[in-house]
Amino acid sequence: MASNGDGKGRVAAAAGGYGYGGYEGPEDRKWWPWLVPTVIVACIAVFVVEMYENNCPKHGSPLGDCVAGFLRRFSFQPLRENPLLGPSSSTLEKMGALDWNKIVHQHQGWRLISCIWLHAGLIHLVVNMLSLLFIGIRLEQQFGFVRIGAIYLLSGFGGSVLSALFLRSNYISVGASGALFGLLGSMLSELLMNWTIYSNKATAIITLLFIIALNLAIGILPHADNFAHIGGFATGFLLGFVLLARPQFGWMERHELPQTSQPPKYKAYQYVLWVVAFVLLLVGFVISLVMLFKGKNGNNGCHWCHYLNCVPTSKWQCNT
């Protein structure tokens, strides 16, 4: 989420039912998932450090008493300051939250990575980690830790870059939602990339698109950083074409076929999608990073883009 230390948002855990297409070929290798649980443990450990560093009883707050004071040093900021049960904005900023001024003017580009590991509160952490557990475990089982780890980290980075381009100067942003949206995006591109080997295609793509649309809709609520969601999703979507292609059906049994009848490992359209996605990914990163470090703000060139991040209504405002 963005807005004075709130996190990057939420990803509905309903996406955990991966395996949507009904395909599981004999050549599929089942990997033992260890990376996703390690990331979850790391994020929990970082949150503990956040609360230790925050030390609400020592620093206090003008907005009220610390929540859960029996936790002493680990107690939370007042709900009026942080409704997600977490530290103060100053603590998040100190530990590496996404901050446009510090990235551009103080050359702290490392914040584009560090913010992925921070969370604005206990609620934010629990929702994101449950989503990662449901989405990530099955993906890692099917594709291994190298590819899923690359998608997770690069999607988180891509979400941070787009978020920073549109982040207002007095706002900070933290959270793993960009990386989680990247995993959702890679699920969609993997389905499209390997379209011919799946059954129940219509049901699979409708279900996945519904989950994605639901999560993006949540992102237009206040305090959610939908630009991180969109940037992470776009990065993961393109990376899925690059990293998650499956050999066409029957390729693993090619040794049983005559030499003249052996099929190629991938279909022609898979090669085309791989090249197009790789080029778009490379160009997108280069242009976005150049704009960011030149101090460009996306809101100046796109006066309606802020509606992608928050839509004001009679029930809430977007500048809080």
Chain centroid to CA 108 = 21
Dihedral over Cα of 14, 137, 23, 147: its sign: positive
Q: Which of 131, 155, 177, 189 is catalytic?
A: 177
Q: Which of 119, 124, 223, 229 is catalytic?
A: 229
Does 107 qualify as catalytic in the annotation?
no
CA distance 260 to 218: 53
CB-based contact 296:165 (threshold 8 Å): yes
What DSSP designation does 200 have? S
SS3 170: coil
The 10 Å CB-count burial string (b at 16+, else e) for 175-212 is bbbbbbbbbbbbbbbbbebbeebbeeeeebbeebeebb
Concerning whether 229 is annotated as a catalytic residue, the answer is yes
Active-site amino acid positions: 177, 229
